[in-house]
Amino acid sequence: MKVIRFGLIGYGAWGTHHARAIAGNPGARLAAIATRSLPSQNAAREAHPHSTIYGDYREMLACEGLDIVAVALPTHLHFDAAKAVLEHDCHLLLEKPMCPALEQCDALLALAQRRKKWIAIGHELRLSSLWGGVKRMDSSGAIGEPRYGIMELWRRPYRLGSEGWRYDNKRVGSWILEGPIHFFDLARWYFAGAGEPVSVFASGNALRADRPELQDNFSALLQFPGGAYAVISQTLGAFEHHQTVKLTGTKGSIWASWSGAMDRTLHPTFSLKHCDGETVRSVPFEKTGDLVGLEEQVALLAAAVRDGTPLCATGEDGRWSVAMCLKAAESMKAGRVISLR
C-alpha cells in the first residue's frame, strides 16, 4: 500500500489534533508541519520528531513532495494557504469554514478543477460514529420520512484562538461560521431525501454590549420542501460541552447526545436511542463516543488519493455550508425569512 505523504499548516489547538490523527494512520506519514510561532514549532518538533518543521508554509510546499496538505488555520487565513496548496499540486484538507466569502470558495473550486485535485472540507462530524450513526439509521428508514429535527449545542465560550482571532469579527467572519456551520451541514445531510432547503430564518443576540456583532446565542429554522424543518441552536453562554441531535419522522424517532467537560474530552458520556413508535432501545456503536471523526477523515482522504474513494464532505459541500451561514446572517440582520430558491 502506498504511504500518503501529508503536510500540515497550523499547529494550534486544532492543528495538534490533525497532527495526531495523521501520524496515527498506518497508511499516512506526517512528513512536515508548518507553523509560524517558535513555541508551536518547538511543540511540534517534540511531539513529532520524525516530521520536518517549518516556520513558513510556502517553504514547506516548495521543499517537500507532499500528496495532501491539511490547513488548520484561523478562518481569515484559509484562502491564501489553500490556494498555495493547490498551486503546488497537492490535494487539500481544509478546515471549516471553507472560506469567509463565497468568491473565495468559488476560486478554490475552480483552481482544484484545473489542477485535478481533491478538496475535502472539515465537516468531520459526518464521520463520527455517533452523528454518523444517526445518518445510517435515518437512511435505513428507521424513522420513516424525517419531518422534524433539532441540532443543539450548549457549551462554554469559545477559546480566544491565536492572537484573539476568534473574537475579532474581521478575522472570524461570524460565529455562525464556527459551530452552527456544522449543524447546518448535518441538517442538510439528514434531510437529504426531502431535497435542498428552501428558506432560513435566524435570530441571535450577544451577551456583551462591547461585541454586538458576535452572537453568543444563535438559532435558525431551516425549511425543507414538503413542510419538513430543522432547528439549529447554539449557546456559548453555558458550561461544558453538550451536543444533541433529535429527529422525528413518520415511523419513529432518534435521540443522540454527547457530553463532556470540553469539546475534545477523551472520556465523554454519550448515547444513541431509537424509538419505532412503541419500543425505545439504546443503539450500540463501535467507538466510544467520539465527537468528531478526524481519524476517519484522514483515512478517507488518503484512500481517495490512493484509489478514488469518495470523500465525506467535498469543496462543494463546504461552499454550500458557507452560503447557508451567510444567508442566516442576512436573515438575522433583516429580521425576516430569507428564500434559498
pLDDT in tens, 179-217: 999 999 999 999 999 999 999 999 999 999 888 889 999
Answer whether 200's CB lies under 8 Å from 331's CB.
Answer: yes
Cα four-point dihedral sign 97, 182, 295, 172: positive
Per-residue model confidence (pLDDT) at position 23? 95
Which pLDDT does position 129 carry in this prediction? 87
Identify the pLDDT of residue 262: 86
Q: For 309, which DSSP code?
A: P
289 vs 129: CA distance, rounded Å:
7
> What amino acid is encoded at 100 in this protein?
P
What superfamily in CATH does domain 125-294+322-339 come from? Dihydrodipicolinate Reductase; domain 2 (3.30.360.10)
- State which H helix or E strand residue 273 sits in: strand 269-275
Q: What is the pLDDT of residue 287?
A: 66
Residues 6 or more apart in contact with residue 210 via CB below 8 angstroms: none
CATH class of the domain defined by 4-124: alpha beta
Whole-model pTM: value is 0.94
What pLDDT, on a 0 to 100 scale, did the predictor assign at position 290?
A: 60
Gap between the Cα atoms of 223 and 341, Å rounded: 11
3-state DSSP assignment of residue 294: helix
How is the beta sheet containing 338-339 ordered, strand by strand?
Answer: 280-282, 269-275, 253-260, 241-249, 146-155, 229-235, 217-223, 199-205, 338-339
Where are the domains positioned within the chain?
Answer: 4-124, 125-294+322-339
Segments of the chain with pLDDT less than 70: 287-292
Instruction: Identify the pLDDT of residue 289.
Output: 55
